[in-house]
Amino acid sequence: MSRSSSSKSPPVSVARVLADDGSLLPGCEAPVDLEQAVAGYRWMVQTRFLDERLTALQRQGRVGFHVGSLGEEAAIIGAAMALREQDWIFPCYREFGAALARGFSLQGYIDNMFGNARDTVKGRQMPDHYTSREHHFVSISSPVGTQITQAVGFGWGAKIRNDDLVTLVFFGDGATSSSEFHAGMNFAAVFKTPTVFLCRNNGWAISVPLERQTATKTFAEKGAAYNVPAVRVDGNDLFAVVAEVGKAVERASNGEGPTLIEALTYRMGGHSTNDDPNAYRGPEDLEPWRTRDPIALLRGYLEVNGAWDDAKEQRWREELERDFRAAVASSEAAPRPELESMFTDVYSQPTPNLVEQGNELLEGPRAPEH
């Protein structure tokens, strides 16, 4: 693992494995074998493909909203790859790639985008607010930072029960300004909860730039205030992310407590499909990051090692296109959630007042459908 200094940061080491051409840096080893590296690459390509297609669907008015992860694929997929099956992910809202890498089906994800009857949250939330208990992927909530304390509390409960699991929580640089970040970091440090804090420093909190978000030189150094070990990692380097998250998971599993990881990356697109990044930044801001495109970096490594080529790329993209079109067609044809579903999943046994309200709703007048 090579550690170099970022040109836009103070001389604080940044963990890297891949050089700009995709080769391994001197003295570095890949933390995964070629088969796993190919799987990581396919998941990253799938993530970017879905970003493009879902943005197009939103522009067509077929889905209402999409939160993309353009340029941040390695930080998301790499972290998911470093987890064990029993570990849990607490996402913010860009981590659909991690959910798919954990086994969540493409159809299930697209069902959420359309909010149909098969949607795991039954259309109650905005698109891109998916969840899968089966794959240990907790429900997304929109308020900034709330997932941080949730991940710490879940980890604390696991520690009390002597369950060997680790919670990984994703959040952006903007969430470090929330009270949830302070409460979560402090509690995790005091009680040594098995939690990995992954701050994806992508340069922007919607339209608020990094320098307006914090007075510290880095986000990783915030760990010192809580006595939490911290590391900075090149978030566009899949191998570096896998390696550093893997170390943090091992520490947490061994009872050594939490780790704070600052993954340096860049949000190449807008905050969401409702955002126009051209209003607050210029195209020149993106140029330095194009040379560290996470997908291009990993592809360079795979090509050098004979594991990927143009023919495989074309076949994979054709498969993605076919599966995506089928999933969209199925989701659009699926029925809407049943009206009574709004009263389910609140309590394991519905309370009398909920039963009464449900009956009144179903027996009362209905607004006409348009």
Kindly tell me the burial class for residue 217, based on how many C-beta atoms sit within 10 Å of its own C-beta (0-12, 13-18, 19 or more).
Answer: exposed
Residues 6+ apart with CB under 8 A from 289: 71, 236, 265, 266, 268
Gap between the Cα atoms of 134 and 151, Å rounded: 17
| pLDDT classification of 93: cutoffs 50, 70, 90 | confident
| pLDDT classification of 370: cutoffs 50, 70, 90 | low
Task: Assess whether pLDDT exceeds 50 at residue 10.
Answer: no
Provide mean pLDDT across the span 188-196.
Answer: 98
Over residues 169-189, the pLDDT tens digits come to 999 999 999 999 999 999 999
- For residues 32-59, one letter each, b for 16 or more C-beta atoms within 10 angstroms of the residue's C-beta and e for the rest, the string is beeeebbebbbbbbbbbebbebbbebbe
Gap between the Cα atoms of 244 and 250, Å rounded: 10
Residue in 6, 178, 217, 8 with CA at minimum distance from that of residue 92? 178
Give the count of alpha carbons within 13 A of 221, CB side only.
10
Task: Assess whether pLDDT exceeds 50 at residue 54.
Answer: yes
Task: Assess whether pLDDT exceeds 50 at residue 117.
Answer: yes
Q: What is the pLDDT of residue 19?
A: 95
Q: Are 239 and 40 in contact (CB under 8 A)?
A: no
Task: Assess whether pLDDT exceeds 60 at residue 75.
Answer: yes
Which two three-digit tokens encode residue 289?
């990051």
| pLDDT classification of 197: cutoffs 50, 70, 90 | very high
Report the percentage of the chain scoring pLDDT > 90.
Answer: 75
Among 3.30.365.10, 3.90.180.10, 3.20.20.70, 3.40.50.970, name the CATH number for the domain at 2-337: 3.40.50.970
Task: Assess whether pLDDT exceeds 80 at residue 222.
Answer: yes
Over residues 228-242, the pLDDT tens digits come to 999 999 999 999 999
Kindly tell me the burial class for residue 282, based on how many C-beta atoms sit within 10 Å of its own C-beta (0-12, 13-18, 19 or more).
Answer: exposed
Task: Assess whether pLDDT exceeds 50 at residue 207.
Answer: yes
Q: Please give the single-letter amino acid code of residue 284.
A: E
| pLDDT classification of 369: cutoffs 50, 70, 90 | low
Over residues 336-345, the pLDDT tens digits come to 998 888 888 8
Q: What is the pLDDT of residue 269?
A: 83
Q: Please give the single-letter amino acid code of residue 279.
A: A
Q: What is the pLDDT of residue 7?
A: 38
Residue 327 phi, psi (nearest 5):
-65, -40
pTM tops 0.85: yes
Q: Are 108 and 132 in contact (CB under 8 A)?
A: yes
Domain boundaries defined on the chain: 2-337, 343-370
Write out the catalytic residue numbers: 267, 271, 280
Gap between the Cα atoms of 5 and 11, Å rounded: 5
- Among the residues of the chain, which ranges form H helices? 34-59, 73-81, 96-101, 106-114, 146-160, 179-191, 238-253, 287-290, 294-304, 310-333, 352-363
Residues 6+ apart with CB under 8 A from 44: 73, 74, 77, 97, 238, 294, 295, 298
Q: What is the pLDDT of residue 1?
A: 67
List, edge to edge, every strand of the sheet that includes 230-234.
2-5, 13-16, 230-234, 259-264, 195-201, 167-172, 88-90
Task: Assess whether pLDDT exceeds 50 at residue 250.
Answer: yes
**Mean predicted lDDT score pLDDT of the chain:** 92
**3-class DSSP state of 68:** coil
Q: What is the pLDDT of residue 267?
A: 86
Gap between the Cα atoms of 173 and 205, Å rounded: 7
- For residues 242-253, one letter each, b for 16 or more C-beta atoms within 10 angstroms of the residue's C-beta and e for the rest, the string is bbbbbbbbebbe
| Greater model confidence, 4 or 242 | 242
Q: What is the pLDDT of residue 8?
A: 40
Over residues 284-301, the pLDDT tens digits come to 888 888 889 999 999 999
Return the sign of the alpha-carbon dihedral for residues 149, 70, 44, 1. Answer: negative
